[in-house]
Amino acid sequence: MKEVVFSGIQPSGSLTIGNYLGALKNFKPLQEEYQCIYCLVDLHALTVEQDPKFLRKNTLQLLALYLAAGLDPYKSIVFIQSHVPEHSELQWLLNTITPLGQLQRMTQYKSKSKLQEENIQAGLLNYPVLMASDILLYQTKYVPVGEDQRQHIELTRDLAMRFNSRYSDTFVMPEIMTPKVGAKVMSLQDPTSKMSKSDSDPNSYILILDDEKTILRKVKRAVTDSLNNFSYNEDQIGLRNLIDIYCAFEEINHSEIVSRYESLGYGKFKEDLAEIIIEGLKPIKNRYEEYIADRSELENIYRMGADKARKIAYKTLRKAYKKVGLIPR
């Protein structure tokens, strides 16, 4: 039996190169060695208000992007979270063993709730419990995600440990899996904060589906510094972020980049970086166009994925229900 890899991305808008480098790019190579399960976490997306039309559209677009990034629905299980009701059901059980204080201390909760201080919903607070349920339902060993998800994985581990020690072994203890470079891509306009698709300034991020001109313009406008010193260090975080993006796309070391561009300067580096990003994304974009045009194939894929996922999820849920003393149906 292969070990299980599980990850999910929210269909809450177009993906950035942060999502790509931190998560999506790393999904494909895991398919050979592991049983991979890749979810479109539409229930998570509901923690901020969504326009129903856009949510539907974004979900299909994200599925097409998964496939374009090389996820093989016959090797991996690719499905939509809301099609497997066990996610919400296990979440309820886990809610009953989750300390409120721990949820209130989550950094993502703190930063997102600050944006809507007058109107914080319970779903925003409980969101990490749903994420724990996603992971634990499939007896997941590894969770490939960006660095910003580390705290949520810690919570998942705490809940698994608490449940297992209270009721006997039920869940596999999951581990985070982050890429060496690209685990935290920073904003192009403010390199102290993470690149995010919900940023109000579109120049702060590059989308996987941005056209070539837009990518070139955004890279050229990216904030660096006026030191005119091409090196990789703590004091030049804007430049360091761009070097990291270059490294993640090309899979080379930052010292190689520094020695290549020391004499060429920031301008030439940015031009080449834009080219590398454009070339790196091109095959995905082309395949995306094919997948998104075939609605019935997308439907077949998510239905097949949900059928496979439910079989596994149901088994785990039944076991957990029994252990806490619920009478089997």
Which residue ranges make up the site for ligand AMP (CB under 6 A)?
A: 9-10, 18-19, 21-23, 145-146, 148-149, 183-185, 194-195
Q: How far is the CB of 7 from ligand AMP (least distance, A)?
A: 6
112 is catalytic: yes
Burial of 233 (0-12, 13-18, 19+ CB in 10 A): exposed
Q: How far is the CB of 24 from ligand AMP (least distance, A)?
A: 7
Question: Is residue 8 close enough to count as binding ligand TRP by CB under 6 A?
Answer: yes
Using the CB atoms, write b or e for 55-70: b if 16+ within 10 Å: beebbbbbbbbbbbbb
Among ligand TRP, ligand AMP, none, what binds residue 134 when CB lies within 5 to 8 Å by partner kind?
A: ligand TRP
Residue 266 CA to residue 244 CA, distance in Å, equals: 14
Taking CB under 6 A as the criterion, the residue among 5, 62, 84, 143 binding ligand TRP is: 143
Q: How far is the CB of 61 from ligand TRP (least distance, A)?
A: 16
Question: Which of 141, 184, 194, 270 does the annotation list as catalytic?
Answer: 194
Among ligand AMP, ligand TRP, none, what binds residue 143 when CB lies within 5 to 8 Å by partner kind?
A: ligand TRP
Q: Kindly report the length of the chain.
A: 329
From the list 302, 311, 256, the residue with the least C-alpha distance to 138 is 311
Residue 293 CA to residue 210 CA, distance in Å, equals: 18
Query: Among residues 5 and 222, whose Cβ is nearest to ligand TRP?
Result: 5
Residue 11 CA to residue 85 CA, distance in Å, equals: 18
In the bound state, the residue with its beta carbon closest to ligand TRP is 8
Chain centre distance of CA 37: 13
Contact residues for ligand TRP, defined by CB under 6 A: 6-8, 10, 41, 44, 131, 134-135, 143, 145, 149, 152
